[in-house]
Structure formats: structure tokens, C-alpha cells
């Protein structure tokens, strides 16, 4: 096994909330012996849900996001914390869209932002949707939309659907979406 190019000398967490913490690590570069400081966000694993209706439409959210000071189109999803991933995906889908999945299948996972965060996002495909109960958190200001796969592809091409996690999740779900939405 190849040794990492750095050695951790110490670390601390100068900032934390219930959703994340910022860690600051003092590292030594193996090649030069020089010490450096590396800061990053430690976030819980997350889920992203690509939900397809019986009419072959994909559920997307239009949600206000304070950091970008505007509305963005996204997929349902959120932090999973310590609950089982399948349950977290079902929970996020129902809370945000008011739909429950009769079938939920994990398609893959990805590192959200490897240079800045430890978060791993797990992508699920939800089908056989049925009514549930939407329960938005006080910080969620969103509307649910149904679009076809070609409409969603146009939104991406036009820069209207530009959420990075959503784009990565759609990339993973692409083969399944092409099969389901024919």
C-alpha cells in the first residue's frame, strides 16, 4: 500500500453545527517535511433521489437557496445522518415531494466535493410512486415539478438545472432514465 503524501500532526474543529463541522488539520508533507494547514467540511452522508412517475416524468424541486441568493432546480434529497440509507431516501422523497416510492433502488454513490468536504452522496431511483405526506422543514421553500427526461436534458443544456449534486446524480441515473422513460 502506498503511503499518503501527508502526515497528520494535529487537528481541531473550530466550528460546528448540527449539520456539519469545519476541521482544521495541521499536516506535514512527506516529500519536503514542510508543515501546512488544511481545512475542510465534515458532513454526514447524503442521499439524492431520482423519482420517476407512472407517466414517465421526473420529479424535480425548485428551491430557494440562500448561499446563491436565488432559486435552483434540484432533485429531492438531503442528509442521511446515521439512519439506513434506504430509509433516508424514502424519508427525503416523502418530506420534500409528498410521494412515497413503492420501489427504491440504489444506483451508485459519489464524493460530493473531494477537495473541500468528506460528504458521500448515495443515489437512489424511486419508482411506483404513491401519495405520501409532504413535510417541509422551516428552512425549505420549494415547489415540486414534473418534467420529461428530454425536458430535463434541455434544462441542463440551457443552464436552468445547474445544481452540482443533481447533475452528478442524473449522470449516474442516466442509463436507468433512458430505459424507464422510453
Give the orientation angle of helix 149-157 with respect to helix 164-180, to 10 degrees: 150
Q: Record the pTM.
A: 0.94
H-type helices in the chain, by residue range? 85-97, 149-157, 164-180
> Per residue in 154-178, pLDDT tens?
999 999 999 999 999 999 999 999 9
> Per residue in 11-39, pLDDT tens?
999 999 988 999 999 999 999 999 999 99
Domains of the chain plus CATH, in order, are 6-41 (no CATH), 46-180 (3.90.79.10)
- Model confidence at 102, pLDDT cuts 50, 70, 90, reads very high
pLDDT over 70, % of the chain: 100
What is the residue-averaged pLDDT of the chain?
96
Q: Is 138 among the catalytic positions?
A: yes
Residue in 24, 92, 137, 138 annotated catalytic: 138
> Per residue in 67-79, pLDDT tens?
999 999 999 999 9
Amino acid at each position: 500500500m502506498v503511503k499518503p503524501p501527508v502526515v497528520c500532526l494535529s487537528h481541531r474543529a473550530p466550528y460546528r453545527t448540527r449539520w456539519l463541522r469545519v476541521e482544521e488539520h495541521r499536516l506535514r508533507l512527506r516529500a519536503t517535511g514542510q508543515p501546512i494547514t488544511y481545512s475542510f467540511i465534515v458532513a454526514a452522508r447524503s442521499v439524492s433521489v431520482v423519482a420517476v412517475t407512472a407517466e414517465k416524468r421526473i420529479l424535480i424541486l425548485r428551491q430557494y437557496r440562500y448561499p446563491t441568493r436565488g432559486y435552483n432546480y434540484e432533485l429531492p434529497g438531503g442528509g442521511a445522518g446515521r439512519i439506513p440509507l434506504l430509509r433516508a431516501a424514502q424519508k427525503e422523497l416523502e418530506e420534500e415531494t409528498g410521494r412515497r416510492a413503492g420501489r427504491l433502488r440504489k444506483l451508485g454513490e459519489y464524493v460530493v466535493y473531494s477537495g473541500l468536504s468528506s460528504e458521500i452522496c448515495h443515489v437512489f431511483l424511486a419508482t411506483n410512486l404513491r401519495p405520501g405526506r409532504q413535510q417541509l422543514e422551516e428552512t425549505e421553500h420549494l415547489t415540486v415539478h414534473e418534467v420529461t427526461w428530454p425536458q430535463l436534458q434541455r434544462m441542463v443544456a440551457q443552464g436552468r438545472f445547474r445544481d452540482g449534486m443533481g447533475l452528478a446524480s442524473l449522470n449516474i441515473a442516466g442509463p436507468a432514465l433512458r430505459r424507464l422513460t422510453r
